Amino acid sequence: MKSKIYLSVLFLIIVLSVHGQFVTKPLNYQVPGDIYIPSYISIVDADHVWLGTKHYLSTGTYLGYTYAVHTNDGGDTWIFDSIPVLGVPWMSSVYAVDENTAFYVFSDNNVNGSIWKTTDNGATWTQKTGTEFQGGGFADFYKAFNDSEGVAVGDPKGGYFEIYRTTNGGDTWTRIDSSSIPANLTGEMGFTNAFASVGDTIWFTSMLGRCFKSTDQGQHWTATTVVSTTSNCAFEVAFSNAQKGVFYYNEPAGKNFFLTSDGGATWAGDTLSENCFISHMSSVEGFDGGFVIATFDTVTSLANVYFTPDFFSNVVVLDSNIKSWPDGLKFKDATTGWLCGWGADTSDIFKFTGTLNSIVNAAGIHESFSIMPNPTSTEALVKLPASLNSKPLCIRIIDMNGKELEKRTIASSTGWTKLNASFYPAGIYLVELNSANRLIARAKWVINH
């Protein structure tokens, strides 16, 4: 399916700024004044990163873009390699196997599709598909499991999703039979680059709220309805391991997301309390349930980035008030991550420079924020970070619909403050700790009466 573009907000974003643990790495696209949106990120290692880009005139008219943008030195310099794609090419997805080998997926003016491959660090490119994704198809993404094996997923054609496997690096393709894929719903489509993978298991989203899953590199598929909807929405998915994943709206005002702890068989709803919508999420290697979350506030036109190391039990701010609409977010591990978004002129990209060792380091404090006991039936104590002694603190209690139920100033000199569970019905709540109008940390509070 086509990428979603919100042009009404596009012109509010002028330039990305240096901020906190993310530093700006100028991309310097070819035509100053045109709008370039780096949207797709594929990380090989700390030095080698490949990007997919959307290109618009300042009036909002889409222009084809055929350059693979990548770096070999951690973003200090960027290389623009031309891919000989014909028509009006829209980039749908990027997947890098290593520093020399990468696949770029295109559609032609939002129809059909082609997959292109380089094996020499972008110097030369070969079209690897022929009739695949032609005749009204649409290629959403390609995922390589290794040098030889991979799967390409496209929108339904002929009553089921157009999915191909290759066992020779894209030289030949075999379409997955309809008996191995659930039939598509009326009007159902995929979404560009909206997939996650762990080992041989891969998941992708449909715009009607279903999550598709294969445990054998795309040979057989199942589908689970996460959100029941009859209208197309931009859903995306991320998995930390084979069991823990998140399914979320990539839509203005979309704060809701869904968590699974059984590989996608069942899902439970959750929400963010901020005045924002979720733009992107990325898993982080080395954390059981670790995710980075980029959000955007449509009122202030600013972005915040959060981190949870423990599957949303605790969430802290990595960076805030970034002047960008995040259109891409990818973390490889605790020290390697990139954020890109909507801008103009240079359309800079952000490089993460911190280390995600724990929630303590992410918050920049020396002690964690905890609630004891949790679950609570009557009263609970909140242990405050010792590093914030003598600083003004504010605590907020928020329900799972994002409604603020309580907000009060607290004294940090004692190291503790009290919560009274008798004020609230049984359920799950968010407790936030703020200092100087900045979110320090958030924890879930479970009340059982």
Residue 346 pLDDT exceeds 80: no
Summarize the confidence of residues 82-106 as an average pLDDT: 96
In this prediction, residue 240 carries a pLDDT of 97
Give the span between the Cα atoms of 302 and 179, in whole angstroms: 46
DSSP 219: S
User: Is the CB of residue 401 less than 8 Å from the CB of residue 271?
Assistant: yes
User: Is the CB of residue 356 less than 8 Å from the CB of residue 307?
Assistant: yes
What domains does the chain contain, in order, with CATH numbers? Answer: 7-363 (2.130.10.10), 370-447 (2.60.40.380)
The end-to-end CA distance of the chain, in Å, is 47
Q: What is the pLDDT of residues 170-199, one digit of tens each?
A: 999 999 999 999 999 999 999 999 999 999
Summarize the confidence of residues 85-93 as an average pLDDT: 92
Q: What is the pLDDT of residues 223-276, one digit of tens each?
A: 999 999 888 889 999 999 999 999 998 766 567 899 999 999 999 998 876 667
Give the span between the Cα atoms of 283 and 307, in whole angstroms: 10
DSSP 213: E
Summarize the confidence of residues 319-333 as an average pLDDT: 88
Identify the residue whose tokens are 């002129």: 345
Give the span between the Cα atoms of 45 and 435, in whole angstroms: 35
Summarize the confidence of residues 304-313 as an average pLDDT: 85
In this prediction, residue 30 carries a pLDDT of 85
Give the span between the Cα atoms of 232 and 30, in whole angstroms: 34
Strands, E assignment, 145-264: 150-156, 161-166, 174-175, 190-198, 201-206, 210-214, 222-225, 235-239, 245-249, 256-260
CA 50 distance to own-chain centroid: 16
User: Is the CB of residue 214 less than 8 Å from the CB of residue 250?
Assistant: no
Residue 359 pLDDT exceeds 80: no
In this prediction, residue 172 carries a pLDDT of 98
Give the span between the Cα atoms of 394 and 186, in whole angstroms: 49
Sign of the CA dihedral running 122, 128, 132, 135: positive
Percent of the chain with pLDDT over 70: 88
Residue 369 phi/psi, 5-degree rounding, is -100, 115
Q: What is the chain's length?
A: 449
97-106, 324-333, 414-423: range with highest mean pLDDT: 97-106
In this prediction, residue 79 carries a pLDDT of 98
Give the span between the Cα atoms of 166 and 123, in whole angstroms: 23
DSSP run (H or E) holding 361: helix 359-363
Summarize the confidence of residues 15-30 as an average pLDDT: 69
Give the span between the Cα atoms of 257 and 269, in whole angstroms: 6
Peptide bond into 89 cis (omega under 30): no
| 131 contacts: CB under 8 Å, gap ≥ 6 | none
User: Is the CB of residue 49 less than 8 Å from the CB of residue 338?
Assistant: yes
User: Is the CB of residue 90 less than 8 Å from the CB of residue 104?
Assistant: no
Give the span between the Cα atoms of 272 and 256, in whole angstroms: 7
Q: Considering the entire predicted model, what is its pTM?
A: 0.81
Residue 351 pLDDT exceeds 60: yes
Best CA proximity match to 279, nearest among 321, 250, 259: 250
Confidence of residue 383 (pLDDT cuts 50, 70, 90): confident
Residue 429 CB neighbours (<10 A):
22
